[in-house]
A and B are shown apart, each in its own frame.
Chain A
Amino acid sequence: MSKASSNLFTRVLKLGSALIGAIAVVGGLIGFLVAGIPGLTSALIGASLTLAFVTLTALSVWLGGKLPLGGFFGVVLGGWLVKIVGFALVIGALKGADFINGPVLFFTLVAAILGTLAVDSVLVLKARIPVIGD
């Protein structure tokens, strides 16, 4: 993977993490006002789940890019599969827990996912990746 691509992924990870942190703060505040302590914990769990699962995709592409092409697709697709199964297990474990407020967790998760998608799209559109590698 070229230096320009590595710079892009560093920026994506930094800005994405900052945005999810901001969403955790705002979501936690709204969740606390709406549902008390369960709302606060739900917002924090939703934001941290998004941070873990969305940034793993960027990390897998970034790290996989250092491998040959077969290794790249193996890391990206294998990581995706493991991640989705892991996410389903985490959701199954959290569902019905006492300290969770379902709607707050869901809407924090959706806001964080859409926010990181927006950040990713803007950064990729602005990125200047040369055709010729380093």
Chain B
Amino acid sequence: MDVTNIAALSGNLAVVGYGLAAVGPGIGVGLVVSKTIESIARQPELAAKLQVTMWLGIAFTEALALIGLATPFIFA
């Protein structure tokens, strides 16, 4: 039986990994920031406290991005 390819994928698969490492944390940071803006709009007097909490959220999300982008060092 002949095998027919109806679609071919070429290129470096690591690029997909780079993309995924950017998409997840991007969504995470977007959610953290949107909720912070919403909270500051509701209670502006809490802005300083919310900014610090937001930074912690961003730091955790960013850790995923940095680790995801550095994976070529072990998976390559």
A interface residues with partner B (beta carbon < 8 Å) = 1-2, 4-5, 8, 50, 53-54, 57-58, 61, 65, 69, 72-73, 76-77, 80, 84, 87-88, 91, 95-96, 100, 102-103, 105-106, 109-110, 113-114, 116-117, 120-121, 124, 127, 129, 131-133
Contacts and interface: CB of A to CB of B under 8 A. Distances in A.
B17 to A, nearest CB: 11
Interface of B is mostly: helix
Interface of B: 18, 22, 25, 29, 33, 37, 40, 45-49, 51-56, 58-60, 62-63, 65-67, 69-74, 76
Nearest to B46: A131
B47 A69 contact: yes
Contacts of B65: 84, 87
A88 B60 CA distance: 18
29 contacts: A1-B48, A1-B51, A5-B52, A54-B62, A58-B59, A61-B58, A69-B40, A73-B33, A76-B33, A77-B29, A80-B58, A87-B66, A95-B73, A100-B73, A102-B76, A103-B73, A103-B74, A106-B73, A109-B67, A110-B67, A113-B63, A113-B67, A117-B59, A120-B56, A124-B55, A127-B52, A129-B49, A131-B45, A133-B48
Contacts of B73: 91, 95, 100, 102-103, 105-106
